[in-house]
Amino acid sequence: MRYSNSFILKKKAVPPDAGWSLTLADMMTLLLCFFVIIVSISKVDPNRYEAMSDVLAEAMRSKGAPSKRVASETRMRVEGKSKNLFALQLELAKLVGRDANAVSLKMRPDAVAINLKGGVFFQLGSASLTGDALRILDKLAAPLTEAHYQLTIEGHSDNLPIKSSQFPSNWELSSARASSVARYFIAQGFPKNDIRVLGLADTRPLAPNTDAKGNSIPENQSRNRRVVILVRPMKG
Dihedral sign, Cα of residue 131, residue 132, residue 134, residue 138: positive
pLDDT at 163: 86
Domains, the chain, ordered by start: 19-66 (no CATH), 83-233 (3.30.1330.60)
d(CA 58, CA 228): 37
For residue 170, pLDDT beyond 90: yes
For residue 120, pLDDT beyond 90: yes
More confident residue, 235 or 140: 140
Q: Per mean pLDDT, which range of 46-50, 87-91, 124-128, 204-208 is the poorest?
A: 46-50
First and final CA of the chain: distance in angstroms?
89
Overall average pLDDT of the 93-110 stretch: 93
Q: How confident is the prediction for the chain on average, in pLDDT? A: 81
pLDDT at 20: 55
pLDDT at 73: 46
More confident residue, 13 or 161: 161
**By the 8 A CB rule, do 231 and 144 touch?**
yes
Q: What is the pLDDT of residues 184-193, one digit of tens each?
A: 999 999 999 9
Dihedral sign, Cα of residue 180, residue 117, residue 85, residue 37: negative
d(CA 217, CA 139): 32
